[in-house]
Amino acid sequence: MTKNLMHLVFGGRVKDPQGLEFEDLNAVDFVGIFPDYASAEKAWRGAAQRTVDDAQMKYVIVHLHRLLQPDVPASQG
């Protein structure tokens, strides 16, 4: 049985394309929570490709399992 390693995908308009400071937190697009990195990456690619022509839009993948269990080494999850 594989471990459930939750990943959050979200994005929105950023103040600087090089950074992660979002302009309006009320307008953040929550794509979803995914059980593994592969499915999160697929969702991230889809969302990012829809906005590829807008340099101010950025989507990210957050490793929720690392936030929920910070003491577990990255190699284990």
Residue with tokens 């990210």: 60
Question: Does residue 22 register a pLDDT over 90?
Answer: yes
In a domain, 20, yes or no: yes
Which position has the higher pLDDT, 19 or 66? 19
Domains identified in the chain, total number:
1
Helix (H) or strand (E) holding 45: helix 37-50
Q: Is residue 11 part of a domain?
A: yes
Percent of the chain past pLDDT 90, that is, above it, reads: 70
Q: Rounded CA gap, 40 and 60, in Å?
A: 10
Q: Which domain holds residue 13?
A: 7-76
Residue 68 has a pLDDT of 74
Of the pLDDT bands very low, low, confident and very high (cuts 50, 70, 90), residue 74 is low
Query: Average pLDDT over the chain, rounded to whole?
Result: 88
CB 33 within 8 A of CB 7: yes
